[in-house]
Each structure stands twice: as C-alpha cells, then as structure tokens.
Amino acid sequence: MRKQIAAANWKMNLTFQQGERLLDDILNVDIKLKEHQQTVFAVPFPYLLMARSEGGRTTQLLCGSTELLSSQKWGFYRRSFSAEMLHSLGCSIL
C-alpha cells in the first residue's frame, strides 16, 4: 500500500514558543494514524531540535527543515546547511 503523507510547513509564522505549543497541542490530540500514514512538519532550521524532541513522542511524526539543503559538505555558503549538519542533530536525510 502507498504511504499517505500529511505535511505542514509553517515558514516564518511562529515564534519558538508558539511552535512548541502548536506541536504539543497536535501531539496531545488522540489521532490514530494507520501504519501507511505519516505526518511531516517542516520547521525553520533553528526549531529543528525542538521539533525533533516533540516528535520523538510518536513514530508517526517526522520533522524536516524549510531551509535549503546544500550539496556541499562544508564551506562558506549563506542561507543553507549541509546534510551532515542535519545528521548531527539526529535527523534523517530522506
């Protein structure tokens, strides 16, 4: 069966505390997803650790970033980050 994914991207619309409350509120709702269903939240890069921590309460929530993933491993690049940086936060690269 194909995986069904519901994804949300809040771009630049929430403060850290508002985002934390939003994820907490969503995770406290008793929604039962089926095995083939997945939820993804793409958050601003500075909020990744918080989202990963909140999302660790369920296996059906994945977190991603809204910023540009660079093809470079390191260097003097603005407004982007490397896959290695994400990996060091404990995020998976899909």
* Sign of the Cα pseudo-torsion (38, 39, 44, 48, in order): negative
Q: How confident is the model at residue 94 (pLDDT cuts 50, 70, 90)?
A: low
The whole-angstrom separation of Cα 23 and Cα 21 is: 6
Q: How confident is the model at residue 15 (pLDDT cuts 50, 70, 90)?
A: very high
Domain ranges of the chain: 4-66
pTM: 0.70
